[in-house]
A and B are shown apart, each in its own frame.
Chain A
């Protein structure tokens, strides 16, 4: 009889939570369609290709370097669009500040003299950006540009050397094109991934993990805080309801809801956005299940330490913000300081993103420890929040 009553109480909490959610169809629709629409807009709207940097070359009037745009356009590396050649460096820098152009390149006035003197000639690359990623990108292009210039110097040298080799009866060297002598090797990129990298393909599973965590955290946190502020917890205190039944009921209810939303989202990702699905359904279900349980534990914890709906929402949003920065969603975790990496790995979504991406895009899990880490986080958070909910249901 006791067990039957326990089941009745847990089922009551599950039913109540689900009915409450579905009584607000707008909220349900936004829960399911919201993440999908955002991802679709991101995938369709984001080109994934950086636009060429509008570049002006400043050539000193005394220099022997060519002064026509065409020559530099033929030399320019991918990513740079030579729009002008000028001798007025100050005017070029002013255009840079005004945002008319993105880059100013100032070759040395007399590169040959520097080389003959045994010194490297400096090619100045001037930018005006505050975004570190953009600055890195410009630096990368400058290095590439420098390599292209070096190659051109090699090519000219090789051309002269070839004429010399013919006159002294050199061997097959004369048959080798100067381009090959200047660039004897070339890089060929080989990607071992079974799928072609794509923005939606890569970020789809990550966005799903992020959305599932946020949804689970917010729903369960608000549910408990609302019951506290409405006085419903007082009703629980004076009833035979125990903390275990409250926690199980809410975790099961929002777990079921999250699973349904995850299933619909995965289907939309695969069938509509074309995200690869190389893993097994069971593997993906396992990852999503663990992620949801750990996230619900986190939400319960937030609900216990929040004394109002506003605070619960703020803490949920802070969790989302932390997850965006530290989960590997945007920046690689390895790029953070070790202490921050520990905090990053304490977030359920960090493991959720890595495991979902592996499952969907590689079809296997190469870092199985993350599964155990996710299960461990779920166990710790649920136990902690159960203890706190139990304390809350005791007399004040």
Chain B
């Protein structure tokens, strides 16, 4: 996607989005509700056309997808769009037929995919009588039944229990190992950890794109050490120490240091702290939650957009 913008009337839902998704990876589009994730996904599937910019999926523009290209894609919409009066088996069979699966392959695939998602035992139950979690699994089964190479999942884990969420992510990882590319949206920012690459979106803007670790570094400016001293200590004394990129006092005896490399910096930090008159009780590397990372990146993006003067932008070293 290059410079993709989508407007509905005067409302810009997606703004100037650039995104490149390598084959064989799981890419998560993470953002709060209403941030433009589904619109982005629908532009990728060809359901929506961009107002401006270009999109290319599997080598083709979505509005010119050939049937063969569509057969290589599987799409799971955000809302339940299967048929409540049809049984689980009939729904999956219908989804397989949409992709032209011939009878015997259909029989084989529908059983395989329903067993995989633990729906075989309820195959004769009407879809309208399933629980919310089962409906999500049925949607996923319908998206997987024709063995797509590109899987586009719009909030596959929304509204389902943690155990099932784990199952779905395990299945996505298994598919990636078999060469499938997956584009997944989620509003659970913690699920960004499950992805090889993460695109953070807020208000239709791409805030950051990279591996979870890259995003963490981008948000915090480096790796983080959490230090506790035996007595009161002013962490500002370490601000100019070698390898220290940022300092944040979190308590009278506690502070966090952003360092280039946590593994090698620990010893230097202990030495500098002792030299400054402090006594270390503990030093440990912490991995901030993705919620913290996301909040930090969103806030920074908001400040940047509201203050276009580059001089006013906050220094990343102060972020931790």
A interface with B by C-beta (< 8 Å): 2, 4-6, 8-9, 11-12, 15-16, 19-20, 23-24, 230-232, 234-241, 394-396
A395 near B62 with CB under 8 A, answer yes
B47 near A20 with CB under 8 A, answer no
B49 near A238 with CB under 8 A, answer no
Q: Is B86 an interface residue (CB 8 A)?
A: yes
Contact partners of B217 in chain A: CB under 8 A = none
Contact partners of B45 in chain A: CB under 8 A = 234, 237-238
B181 → chain A, closest Cβ, in Å?
15
Q: Is B289 an interface residue (CB 8 A)?
A: no
B: contact size bracket: 35 or more
Considering only residues 45-81 of chain B, those with a C-beta below 8 Å from chain A are 45-49, 62-63, 67, 70-71, 73, 75, 77, 79-81
Sample 14 A-B pairs with CB under 8 A, ordered by A number.
Answer: A2-B67, A5-B102, A19-B86, A232-B81, A232-B83, A234-B42, A234-B75, A234-B81, A237-B47, A239-B98, A240-B67, A240-B99, A241-B98, A395-B62
Partner of A8, one of B95, B97, B152: B97
Q: Is B101 an interface residue (CB 8 A)?
A: yes
> How far apart sit A394 and B64, CA to CA, in the bound complex (Å)?
10
> How far apart sit A6 and B98, CA to CA, in the bound complex (Å)?
9
Partner of A20, one of B46, B48, B85: B85
B70 near A240 with CB under 8 A, answer yes
B interface with A by C-beta (< 8 Å): 42, 45-49, 62-63, 67, 70-71, 73, 75, 77, 79-83, 85-86, 90, 93-95, 97-103, 126, 142, 152
Chain B: CB-nearest residue to A7: B100
A140 → chain B, closest Cβ, in Å?
55
A20 near B70 with CB under 8 A, answer no
A240 near B81 with CB under 8 A, answer no
> How far apart sit A237 and B152, CA to CA, in the bound complex (Å)?
13
A24 near B98 with CB under 8 A, answer no
- A235 and B75 contact, Cβ closer than 8 Å, known pairs A23-B126, A394-B63, A396-B47: yes
B47 near A395 with CB under 8 A, answer yes
A235 near B98 with CB under 8 A, answer yes
Chain B: CB-nearest residue to A17: B83
B314 → chain A, closest Cβ, in Å?
39
> How far apart sit A34 and B73, CA to CA, in the bound complex (Å)?
45
Contact partners of A237 in chain B: CB under 8 A = 45-47
> How far apart sit A4 and B49, CA to CA, in the bound complex (Å)?
30
Contact partners of B73 in chain A: CB under 8 A = 238
Partner of B79, one of A231, A240, A395: A231
Of A4, A20, A23, A236, most buried by chain B (CB within 10 Å of CB) is A23
- A8 and B70 contact, Cβ closer than 8 Å, known pairs A16-B94, A238-B47: no
B110 → chain A, closest Cβ, in Å?
12
Contact partners of A232 in chain B: CB under 8 A = 81-83
